[in-house]
């Protein structure tokens, strides 16, 4: 799992809400979040703005393990 998902979840946003605010389809956002495709530079910038997170950290691997992820989100 990439950190982008943790940032989105911590903001209480759905994939649809983020994709709408970034002007992309929900399907494309889903593929980005799962690491199936690479974002463009413009997409990285828009995602960073919408999620209020550094663009450089969005696509780094998050900590594995449910308990640790739940701790981060709380």
The CATH number of whichever domain residue 36 belongs to comes to: 1.10.260.40
What's the structural domain count of the chain?
1
CA–CA gap between residue 10 and residue 1 (Å, rounded): 14
What range does the domain containing 33 cover? 3-73
Reported pTM: 0.81
Are the CB atoms for 73 and 9 separated by under 8 Å? yes
Mean pLDDT of the 18-34 span: 97
Q: So what's the pLDDT on residue 73?
A: 58
- 10: pLDDT strictly greater than 80: yes
């Amino acid at each position: 799992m990439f950190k982008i998902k943790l940032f989105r979840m911590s903001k209480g946003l759905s994939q649809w809400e983020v994709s709408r605010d970034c002007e992309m389809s929900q399907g494309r956002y889903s593929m980005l979040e799962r690491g199936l495709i690479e974002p463009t530079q413009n997409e990285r910038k828009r995602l960073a703005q919408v999620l209020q997170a550094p663009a450089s950290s969005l696509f780094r691997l998050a900590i594995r393990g449910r308990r640790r992820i739940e701790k981060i989100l709380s």
